[in-house]
A and B are shown apart, each in its own frame.
Chain A
């Protein structure tokens, strides 16, 4: 009797300790920078473990495969992906990692986020010259934040009115030439023809990020061709010294939005905002236009039964063909690779620098990023041709210098797109009118003054 009690006690103790042991084992292999720095000092640069925080959620697996390739070439470097979900709580996850003292070594973030957390990232000034040699003219300048080089751009993206060439060709009876659409009236005439042919002219994706960050973001970028000028404009908005209701670019853009609204294929239920369905319907020809960017290729590319030929038009803002914005597409280097400087060891940082260079220059990564993911890379020495007709179309605009630099949004508060995107959603479903929208947007800006 007594013996059995002892045995039971022993078993219980063993269980408890094994659980505790399992916990502590987990801790030592986790990405705790201090733990790995301890091992680094004893067995110098033998084994480096990097974590990679990824907000380009649509290509999580592409990155994961690349890390495996890199591991084969560099056996002493292990890179672990910290994935996020599309449109999910990406920023929250990044912040909680940072706050818990376990930041990711490399972060693939929106330029705006990097600007907000600029104190946490490594200054890459010493690498700048190297990347300037590698990059297309202007690409590194476009990635500077407050004049400093803290993030390496790996992709260039553009957005506007994507079009399905087959549908438009069928409607107009000849091969569509995008340069024939120079003004809002041109676009409206085309929409009318498409509708008369029994097709849906355009899909507006009703999510707040598309309406807020992308569509409304244009309004601030169209003020001038100079990011600093646009920043000044927003500062004045915060102070309340300029009035959006009399602003030409803003009103022109919203007039075009009214037009898109009128011909929206999602008119019955504009806010459904199913990204995969919207992209697929556009790719299969259920609508001729789609307000979106070349990144939608990640959905469209692998789709079965899709159309082949796609292009992009700028969002026209007036009836004067010469106005800035009517022949320029929105173009940006939205995501930058930045290296953590708040909890990572020098070994990890060096390994991260080498890895980022590999991501930009190696054939394997270019194949994955350009070939597989269909993104455009703003670098000269490209070993792979893009499979994405939309980003090729955007590259043409870039080569001709016909772009709108939307870099101003990098300096906006992080809740900007969500708050003003909600106002745009209200406008889309006619819950507020133009005056109401203008007021809500201006009120938002005023509320951020001094923060």
Chain B
């Protein structure tokens, strides 16, 4: 009897979970492990074969000064993107759950950037930054926009942050909305009767009660912005003079343009470890803040 039930359960799992498990192994796990193996070799697409090198590639990673400076650059980028995107998404969600007319339409509107691929988005904003804004800037004498933001190292950084945050906001907003909707109305009303003002309501009640949404949003935004590649490629191409190369972009350049696959791949692994450590640590600590209503 139990045997039959076990078989039945396995069958059900295979039907529903099987395809995803297969896909996960085929396109994530196996390539990842194989990639990990390649970091210990001197594999080169031109020759096609490889010999075992041990840790030599990893030693070179930490001697690659550009990689380290760009890692630092990436950390700054992630920090600003995550903070801006989450704060903006939270307040957007807050505004769009207050129940006014047309909030559904606005939700859809803010979510749309997420549906556009990073490349298209990047090219759109590139046009905006390098043609439209300078045109307006010169016409109306706005000093901030007179030259393209993408040709100045500092402004190009902010351009990257703005566009990435803009793309993320809609996605995070949806999660925050569902988090906010789960905050019981009677608790907020009770707080109002007890004399709490709007700021206190947010700080003492809404924030702690929507902590699960915050944990998820920060996790998603950290892992996504660490691995930004398409936006980087379309918006700045790493320029001006390679000053806005994010780590993923650098990895691809190193591996495919400079023909140093082993080192590039090792840098990708290092990046993976850093992302995993940061994202998991924040999830662990923030989870402790969660409370039950």
Contact = CB atoms under 8 A, between A and B. Distances in A.
A418 interface: yes
A422 B15 contact: no
B46 A117 contact: yes
Contact of A269 (B19, B147, B253): B147
B259 A414 contact: yes
Interface in A241-281: 268-272, 274, 277
B15 A9 contact: yes
B46 A116 contact: yes
B145 to A, nearest CB: 11
Contact of B151 (A99, A270, A277, A413): A270
B15 A12 contact: yes
Q: How large is the interface on A (under 10, 10 to 19, 20 to 34, 35 or more residues)?
A: 35 or more
A91 interface: yes
B242 interface: yes
Interface stretch (B76-84, B91-99, B233-241, B281-289): B233-241
B131 A277 contact: yes
B290 interface: no
Contact of B259 (A206, A413, A418, A431): A413
Contacts of A356: none
A277 B148 CA distance: 14
A117 B15 CA distance: 45
Interface string A266-300: 00111110100100000000000000000000000
Given A269-B147, A271-B151, A272-B148, A92 B239 contact: no
Contacts of A99: 45
A95 interface: yes
Contact of B257 (A117, A268, A418): A418
Contact of A95 (B18, B45, B241, B253): B45
Contacts of B46: 116-117, 119-120
Contact of B241 (A98, A342, A426): A426
A269 B150 CA distance: 10
B142 to A, nearest CB: 14
A413 B46 CA distance: 13
Interface string A200-230: 0000001010000000000000000000000
Contacts of B241: 208, 422-423, 425-426, 431
B2 interface: no
A422 B147 CA distance: 19
A16 interface: yes
A422 B148 contact: no
B51 interface: no
B130 A272 contact: yes
B130 A91 contact: no
Contacts of B16: 12
A423 B233 CA distance: 19
A269 B257 contact: no
A368 interface: no
A91 B19 contact: no
A13 interface: yes
A321 interface: no
A269 B239 contact: no
Given A89-B256, A414-B259, A425-B241, 16 more contacts: A13-B15, A87-B237, A89-B233, A89-B252, A92-B252, A95-B45, A96-B256, A98-B45, A116-B259, A120-B46, A269-B147, A274-B131, A413-B259, A415-B258, A418-B242, A425-B240
